[in-house]
């Protein structure tokens, strides 16, 4: 009687050996010992017939050194034969194949292996494993949709396995034996194209991206092989993603549809933060070559010129005619004589009519011209541009491509312009010195016979000579109004009169006007008086009354500074300067009207930021020597002084004009400059309490050693 052998494993010492089935009772059969360290690879032969899977697992555990845990559901008999010797790893792989045939799987848990049914192995599949183990893996797709891939590969997955599509990311999740998943990955790579998707941005010049994109989507539909299309309406661009052939076909079709008349015009309003809308519009017109178009009603409404232009222009015509002043100080009604003209004359502070050169008339004309100016605009074949001055905005209507082209230009023009603070210093030092000495005498009968001496001055009030003359004192009739006068007589036959006068006038004039303006913008500051000058006179007769009239013209007398700064690269400022200082002169004999001193400079200079530059000046030293004498006798040494009178006068004048520009690029610089000027005003206010005497404590020199201290 022959017994069934449960398991025969032979470890050959020298070479491969064949398995033999020796009859023996099952109870007496002991499982072979685990292979020793001397067992070589390829020396295990497996021959199993109708062996319980639990017994097989026990022997495999001893041969491979692995700890195996069998699930209670793992039952059955095994039949397997190896024709060639196997290593321990080969035996383990053979055991996994046996488990796979019987619906079981080995799942690693820590250092142990659990033998479980395949259905449970799916839920416990490790992230990475060998070909005989159950695992789950993410297979990414680039072109094929995950739903299509799942439908194609589902028949290839084992019955206990699963395959699920994912839309984000574009992939499928497969749970199966590792070798089967590897086969599915190879098939998915072949089905997915291998090259990956292509991306391209198709820019349309004439057609609308929205319309072309809709047409392409309708043409391709929503299939798996259709390219994906995104639309960027702002830049009028189509974004296409797909395989290279589909992307090339999309570009070809888009080029065919990019024809004139296809783009839908849109309207945008660009609000400017720093620049002037009309200036930017003028620059764009010159750059794009646009032609001026008629202003549309909307722009005319925004400009508002019709509401204020006529009234302000009427105000600007105040005093346009040569209205005159009569002896009764009333206004004559000329061509534009009206209540408005009377009000304007009252506002100017004049009791007489004046010409339009007054500051009020010029200001009104300037306001009228600025308010009545209509908004500017231009048009090109692709767009129309219109400025809205009161909103400081630019309205643009055109194709998306044209709008995308003009937007960066507007952004680059709408930048904060730097401001320039110009500080001027007008320094004038004048010294007048004069001395006069004269001796007069008379011989003969009937002379006054006056003796005495008088010192009289007319610069501090009524001179003493005037008082003496009023009182009838004889010396008052001989003494001069200013200076020393001495009289010596001998009866009424000899009279000697000596007169001497010395005068000195020193002037130290310092004016520091300052003005702040925008870069490349004209600025003007006037500090002075508006003085009337006679221009003519005439008379008019009404009935039997003759009324004299005098025409006048008002001019500014004082300090005037006009300047245009231009900031260049490197913080260099170009200055177009017109500076004038004028003043009234006292009454001059023979003058028909008022006389003014005038000092003016007109020049163009370059100066660095914060640098002081001299515009110009004058240094003069005038000397006048006047001598009156009796011929021959006046030339006699020493004695000749009794026969002559001398006067020596010297005038020295030093005048220079300095200028310092300071660039104010941001709000911080503007605030610092304002704070510095306000501190200067407070310092001047504090000096008002200085009650020191000018005669006892004369003021010292004002000019500092450093040039910057002048401002």
Using one digit for the tens of pLDDT, what is the confidence trace for 11-48? 433 333 333 323 333 332 334 434 443 344 457 788 88
- Kindly compute the dihedral angle of the four CA atoms of residues 243, 246, 248, 250, in this order, to the nearest 10 degrees: -130
Query: What per-residue confidence (pLDDT) applies to 567?
Result: 92
- 101 shares a domain with 64: yes
Tell me, yes or no, whether 337 lies in a domain: no
Query: What per-residue confidence (pLDDT) applies to 707?
Result: 65
Tokens 């009337």 belong to which residue?
532
Tell me, yes or no, whether 118 lies in a domain: yes
- 67 shares a domain with 118: yes
596 neighbors 557 (Cβ within 8 angstroms): yes
Tokens 């830049």 belong to which residue?
235
Tell me, yes or no, whether 321 lies in a domain: no
Helices (H), 102-158: 118-123, 146-153
Q: What does the angle CA 557 – CA 563 – CA 566 come to, to the nearest 5 degrees? A: 180
- 118 shares a domain with 54: yes
- 189 shares a domain with 62: no
Q: Which residues of 596-624 are buried (b: 16+ CB within 10 A; e: fewer)?
A: eeebebeeeeebebeebbebbeeeeeeee
- 380 shares a domain with 278: yes
227 neighbors 241 (Cβ within 8 angstroms): yes
329 contacts: CB under 8 Å, gap ≥ 6: 351, 352
Q: Which residues of 491-522 are buried (b: 16+ CB within 10 A; e: fewer)?
A: eeeebbbbbebeeeeeeeeeeebbbbbebeee
Domain boundary among 122, 153, 185: 122
- 252 shares a domain with 284: no
263 neighbors 405 (Cβ within 8 angstroms): no
Domain boundary among 219, 236, 258: 258
For position 79, which CATH number holds?
3.30.1370.120
Give the tens place of pLDDT for each residue, 556-578. Answer: 888 889 999 999 988 899 999 99
Query: What per-residue confidence (pLDDT) applies to 372?
Result: 44
- 207 shares a domain with 254: yes
Tell me, yes or no, whether 158 lies in a domain: yes
Domain range holding 147?
Answer: 134-193
Domain boundary among 153, 177, 193: 193
Query: What per-residue confidence (pLDDT) applies to 167?
Result: 79
Tell me, yes or no, whether 312 lies in a domain: no
pTM for this prediction? 0.48
Query: What per-residue confidence (pLDDT) applies to 395?
Result: 93
394 neighbors 411 (Cβ within 8 angstroms): no
| pLDDT < 50: residue spans in the chain | 1-41, 127-128, 294-373
Backbone angles phi, psi at 430, to 5 degrees: -130, 140
Tell me, yes or no, whether 313 lies in a domain: no
Beta strand 291-292 with 377-379 is: antiparallel
The Cβ-side half-sphere exposure at 285, using a 13 Å CA radius, reads: 18
465 vs 348, 447, 474, CA distance in Å? 44, 20, 10
- 404 shares a domain with 270: yes
The Cβ of residue 28 has, within 10 Å, a number of other Cβ atoms equal to: 7
Question: How far apart (Å, rounded) are the C-alpha atoms in residues 42 and 340?
Answer: 124
Query: What per-residue confidence (pLDDT) applies to 576?
Result: 94
Distance from the first to the final alpha carbon of the chain: 133
Comparing CA positions, the residue from 588, 593, 595 lying closest to residue 557 is: 595
Question: Is the preceding peptide bond at 215 cis, omega within 30 degrees of 0?
Answer: no
Query: What per-residue confidence (pLDDT) applies to 348?
Result: 37
- 277 shares a domain with 395: yes
Query: What per-residue confidence (pLDDT) applies to 429?
Result: 85
Tell me, yes or no, whether 217 lies in a domain: yes
157 contacts: CB under 8 Å, gap ≥ 6: 163, 174, 175, 176, 180, 184
- 275 shares a domain with 393: yes
Structurally, how many domains does the chain consist of?
A: 5
Tell me, yes or no, whether 148 lies in a domain: yes
Query: What per-residue confidence (pLDDT) applies to 608?
Result: 92
- 221 shares a domain with 105: no
Helices (H), 222-331: 244-257, 277-288, 297-303, 305-316
481 neighbors 463 (Cβ within 8 angstroms): yes
Handedness of CA 214, 216, 221, 227 (dihedral sign): negative
- 406 shares a domain with 271: yes
């Amino acid at each position: 009687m022959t017994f069934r052998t449960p398991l025969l494993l032979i470890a050959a010492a020298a070479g491969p050996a064949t398995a033999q089935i020796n009859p023996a009772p099952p109870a007496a059969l002991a499982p072979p010992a685990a292979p020793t360290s001397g067992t070589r690879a390829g020396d295990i032969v497996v021959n199993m017939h109708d062996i319980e899977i639990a017994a097989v697992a026990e022997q495999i555990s001893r041969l491979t050194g692995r700890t195996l845990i069998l699930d209670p559901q793992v039952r059955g008999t095994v039949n397997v034969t190896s024709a060639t010797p196997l290593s321990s790893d080969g035996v383990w792989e053979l055991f996994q194949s046996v488990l796979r045939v019987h619906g079981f799987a080995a799942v690693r848990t820590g250092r142990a292996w659990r033998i479980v049914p395949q259905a449970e192995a799916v839920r416990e599949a490790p992230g990475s494993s060998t070909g005989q183990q159950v695992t789950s893996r993410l297979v990414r797709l680039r072109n094929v949709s995950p739903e299509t891939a799942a439908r194609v590969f589902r028949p290839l997955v084992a019955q206990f396995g699963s395959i699920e599509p994912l839309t984000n990311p574009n992939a499928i999740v497969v749970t199966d034996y590792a070798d089967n998943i590897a086969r599915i990955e190879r098939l998915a790579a072949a089905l997915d194209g291998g090259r990956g998707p292509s991306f391209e941005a198709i820019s349309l010049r004439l057609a609308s991206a929205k319309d072309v994109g809709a047409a392409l989507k309708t043409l391709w539909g929503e299939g798996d092989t259709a390219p994906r299309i995104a639309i960027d309406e702002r830049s009028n661009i189509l974004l296409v993603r797909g395989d290279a052939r589909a992307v090339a076909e999309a570009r070809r079709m888009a080029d065919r549809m990019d024809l004139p008349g296809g783009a839908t015009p849109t309207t945008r309003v660009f609000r400017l933060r720093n620049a002037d809308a009309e200036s930017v519009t003028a620059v764009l017109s010159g750059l794009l070559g646009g032609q001026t178009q008629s202003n549309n009603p909307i722009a005319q409404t925004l400009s508002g010129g019709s509401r204020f232009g006529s009234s302000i222009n009427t105000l600007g015509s105040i005093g346009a005619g040569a209205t005159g002043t009569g002896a009764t100080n009333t206004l004559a009604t000329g061509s534009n004589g009206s209540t408005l003209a009377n009000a304007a004359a009252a506002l100017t502070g004049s009791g007489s009519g004046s010409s339009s050169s007054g500051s009020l008339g010029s200001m009104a004309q300037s306001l009228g011209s600025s308010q009545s100016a209509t908004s500017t605009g231009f048009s090109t074949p692709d767009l129309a541009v219109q400025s809205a001055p009161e909103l400081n905005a630019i309205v643009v209507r055109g194709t998306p491509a044209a709008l995308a082209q003009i937007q960066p230009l507007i952004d680059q023009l709408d930048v904060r312009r730097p401001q320039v603070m110009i500080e001027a210093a007008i320094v004038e030092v004048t010294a007048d010195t004069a001395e006069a000495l004269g001796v007069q005498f008379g011989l003969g009968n009937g002379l006054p016979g006056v003796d005495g001496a008088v010192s009289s001055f007319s610069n501090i009030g009524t001179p003493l000579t005037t008082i003496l003359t009023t009182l009838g004192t004889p010396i008052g009739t001989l003494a001069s109004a200013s200076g020393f006068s001495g009289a010596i007589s001998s009866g009424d036959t000899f009279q000697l009169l000596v007169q001497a006068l010395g005068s000195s006038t020193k002037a130290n004039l310092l004016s520091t006007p300052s003005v702040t303006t925008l870069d490349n913008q004209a600025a003007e500051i006037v500090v002075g008086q508006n003085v009337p000058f006679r221009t003519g006179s005439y008379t008019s007769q009404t009935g039997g009354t003759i009324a004299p009239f005098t025409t006048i013209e008002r001019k500014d007398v004082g300090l005037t500074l006009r300047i245009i700064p231009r900031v260049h690269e490197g913080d260099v400022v170009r200055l177009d300067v017109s500076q004038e200082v004028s003043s009234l002169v006292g009454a001059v004999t023979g003058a028909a009207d008022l006389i003014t001193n005038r000092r003016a400079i007109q020049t163009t200079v370059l100066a660095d930021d914060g640098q002081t530059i001299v515009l110009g000046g004058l240094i003069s030293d005038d000397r006048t020597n006047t001598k009156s004498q009796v011929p021959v006798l006046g030339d006699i040494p020493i004695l000749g002084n009794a026969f002559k009178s001398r006067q020596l006068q010297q005038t020295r004048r030093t005048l220079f004009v300095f200028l310092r520009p300071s660039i104010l690029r941001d709000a911080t610089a503007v605030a610092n400059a304002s704070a510095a000027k306000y501190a200067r005003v407070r310092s001047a206010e504090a000096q008002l309490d200085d009650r020191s005497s000018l005669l006892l404590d004369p003021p010292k020199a004002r000019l500092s050693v450093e040039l910057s201290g002048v401002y």
